[in-house]
Amino acid sequence: MPKAPALEYEVGNRSVRLSSPDKIYFPERGYTKQDVFEYYLAVSEPMLRYMHDRPTMLQRFPDGLDGEMFFQKRVPARGVPDWITTAEIKFPSGRKADELCPKEPAALLWAAQMGTIVYHPWPVRAPATENPDELRIDLDPQPGTDFADAVKVAGLARTVLADAGLVGFPKTSGGRGIHIYVRIKPDWPFVEARRAAIAFARELERRDPKLITTAWWKEERGEQVFIDYNQMARDRTIAAPYSLRANPRATVSTPVTWDELTQVEPNDFDLRTVPARLAEVGDLYGGMDDVRHDLGTLLEWWDRDERDRKLGEMPYPPDYPKMPGEPMRVQPSRAKGSSSEDD
């Protein structure tokens, strides 16, 4: 069968070429590269409103879900349109990279042409790439729990946020989890923003310790919803609002209202349904930038926990260098084994 000819799309004042439009990207649903491209064209306005000036890692599948996947953290030095903009970011190792930093819808579509299915923006905006401008709360159901459990935790999280003087904006993760975003002032570096996330997670856990856990090691979590505080660590990203997810159903990480959370399922939102939903309800993240919140209360909670409960730092991800004040980065079961041998 002959290959379908390339197509040209006018995106803003740019012309973006789409090659191999009939290539199958989601085999189970039969969605093609053109379907993915036109999905991102349909949601480009609200997606760019959120992603504007955010360094973004691209999760690419040039041959669709059944082909090779890789994460692109650097924009190539050659073969890139001169209107593609980048921002320099620094990894935990100290190395640096120029990542895609979209300023116009065509940048999102250029990435889609390159086989991007999932967009992973940093919680910063250029040029202030050392200071997060949003607090990200990741509710991650562990085996034995599901989306309904995450919904219960989200309701409690909303109350704890209010107690800290913060307003959160929820979205589905595209899987079983829920993400909550809080717009904050870019006044704190990553270490302080992560401590605010830890303080929030600990307070949330105290409200319902049977359902909620902050345990970093999986062996200690049990059938609970994990609050992944390390999503606020440098170089940790989650799927953008309106981003597709790399699963057979082509679900979408979709902004929802707090009231909707109890009425929806993750599979309600996918490549076909989200553009129609957006036309009906509008961009539920449209007002997120209206107020930039202060992390002061959460950092006071951190100080309180450290002073009164002797709770300090928690483990960083395994690829990080050893961080100041961090506890021993080893699984508890292995640590106990080492201790008994020493005895």
Say what the pTM is: 0.95
Amino acid in the structure at residue 153: V
Rounded to 5°, angle at Cα 86 from 80 and 91: 120
Measured between alpha carbons, how far is 268 from 263 in angstroms, rounded to an integer?
A: 10
pLDDT digits (tens, 9 = 90+) for 159-194: 999 999 999 999 999 999 999 999 999 999 999 999
Alpha helices in the chain (DSSP H): 33-42, 44-51, 105-113, 147-163, 190-207, 273-281, 296-308, 332-342
- Chain centroid offset of residue 79 CA: 28
DSSP-derived letter for residue 39 is: H
Asked whether residue 147 carries a pLDDT value surpassing 60, the answer given is: yes
Measured between alpha carbons, how far is 337 from 150 in angstroms, rounded to an integer?
A: 34
- Candidates 141, 147, 164, 266; CA nearest to 212 is 141
What size, in residues, is the chain? 343
| Phi/psi of residue 200, nearest 5 degrees | -65, -45
Q: At a CB cut-off of 8 Å and minimum separation 6, what does 261 contact? A: 151, 154, 155, 170, 178
Write down the pLDDT at residue 325: 87
Helical packing angle, 44-51 and 105-113, nearest 10°: 100
Show the tokens assigned to 73.
Answer: 């953290």
pLDDT digits (tens, 9 = 90+) for 221-255: 999 999 999 999 999 999 999 999 999 999 999 99
Measured between alpha carbons, how far is 192 from 291 in angstroms, rounded to an integer?
A: 20
Indicate the SS3 state at residue 123.
Answer: coil
Write down the pLDDT at residue 232: 98
Show the tokens assigned to 2.
Answer: 């002959």
Write down the pLDDT at residue 330: 81
pLDDT digits (tens, 9 = 90+) for 253-311: 999 999 999 999 999 999 999 999 999 999 999 999 999 999 999 999 999 999 999 99
Asked whether residue 195 carries a pLDDT value surpassing 90, the answer given is: yes
What are the CA-CA distances from residue 125 to residues 44, 51, 52, 91, 100 (Å)?
Answer: 18, 9, 8, 16, 12
Asked whether residue 204 carries a pLDDT value surpassing 60, the answer given is: yes
Cα dihedral sign, 188-194-199-203: positive
